[in-house]
Every structure is written in C-alpha cells, then in structure tokens.
C-alpha cells in the first residue's frame, strides 16, 4: 500500500485524486470515554450483573462505580489491547472470561489494584451465568456504543436457523486459490 501511495504521488497523478480520499476521517470511538461507557451499558442492559459489592482499598467503602461492565471494558481495551469497535474483539474477551481463549491473570485484572478482593472470579462466574443470547446482546451493545455507525448491523438472533441458499452437497475445494495471493 505504501509503495502504491509513493508511486501515485511521485507520478504527479495526485492532483486527480479526490481531496477527501486522503483526509483523515474522525473515529467515533474516540469521542466516547471508556470510563463512561459502563453507565451506557447499564442503561441499555439494566439486568446485566453489576458485581459492584467490592470494598475499595483507598477509603474502605463499597466501590459502587467499579462494576463488571467497567472492568470488562477496561480488560478488553487496556489489559488486552483489543479494539472496542469490533464484535470479534469483544467475543475474544468474553471467551477469556469463559476460560476458552487466553489466560486471565489475577495480577493484571482491573480492580486488583484498587479493591480489597480481586473481582476476577466473581466476574468470570457472572459472565458464565449469562446465556449465549445475553452475551451476544452485550457484545452488540458494546459495539454500538463505541461505534455508533455499526447500529445498522442487526444483532444476531440465535433462535433462527439459516436457510441454505445452495445445494447441501459438499463441493470439492477449488484449486489454485493460493496462486491468487501472489
């Protein structure tokens, strides 16, 4: 890609390129502070477990704002470095909580440094108690919050079965597909 850009600019053809093509477009996700998103999650999913009964190390009081949604978001973005605008990244994070993807470490889990008791086990239990449909809804809500343009994407409905559009007999793999990558 970079070579193509250099060739275009070097050839003088850049004058014919539409000016908006090269402009940097704003990213909607940057307009939302991850520390505020948890409140939007609970507005849209009031039944999502709060898991905010933990005691703060700092003042010895219940840390009501240190919720499961808050820690889930911080884990996804800051601990794992995953994008908040893609469903796959949220699904990988939920897979971590379910114990089927990457190992979650107590020492780096959000809340470990600020709460008297590490909330990791309670959070994992709460995520495991959700149905697949509830997890899918959670993922869609998070993506919609961080990427408002994705709201046109319908949430999956696990109660429907896909209708096959082609023959159900397996087709042999096509040859030469790897050749197209050269």
Q: Which long-range contacts (CB under 8 A, 24 or more apart) does 95-100 make?
A: 97/72, 97/123, 97/124, 97/127, 97/128, 98/124, 98/127, 98/128, 99/124
Give tens-digit pLDDT for 156-165.
Answer: 555 544 444 4
Res 87 pLDDT > 70: yes
- Confidence category of residue 170, pLDDT binned at 50, 70, 90: low
pTM more than 0.85: no
List the domain boundaries for the chain.
28-157
Contacts of residue 146, defined as CB under 8 A and 6 or more positions apart, other chains included, come to 28, 29, 32, 37, 84, 85
At 34-63, the pLDDT tens digits run 888 999 999 999 999 999 999 999 999 999
pLDDT recorded at residue 169: 54
Rounded Cα gap, residues 14 and 128, in angstroms: 54
Q: Which of 141, 161, 155 is nearest to 72 (CA)?
A: 141
Higher pLDDT, 178 or 8: 178
């Amino acid at each position: 890609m970079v070579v193509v850009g250099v060739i275009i600019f070097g050839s003088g053809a850049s004058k014919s390129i539409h000016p908006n093509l090269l402009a940097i477009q704003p990213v909607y996700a940057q307009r939302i502070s991850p520390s505020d998103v948890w409140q939007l999650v609970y507005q849209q999913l009031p039944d999502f477990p709060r898991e905010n009964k933990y005691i703060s190390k700092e003042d010895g009081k219940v840390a009501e704002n240190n919720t499961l949604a808050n820690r889930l978001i911080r884990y996804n973005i800051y601990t794992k470095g995953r994008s908040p605008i893609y469903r796959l990244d949220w699904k990988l994070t939920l897979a971590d909580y379910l114990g089927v993807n990457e190992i979650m470490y107590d020492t780096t889990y959000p809340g470990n440094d600020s709460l008297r008791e590490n909330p990791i086990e309670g959070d994992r239990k709460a995520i495991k108690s959700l149905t697949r449909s509830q997890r899918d809804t959670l993922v869609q809500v998070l993506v919609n919050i961080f990427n408002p343009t994705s709201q046109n994407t319908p949430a999956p409905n696990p109660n429907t079965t896909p209708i096959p559009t082609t023959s159900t007999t397996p087709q042999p793999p096509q040859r030469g597909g790897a050749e197209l990558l050269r």
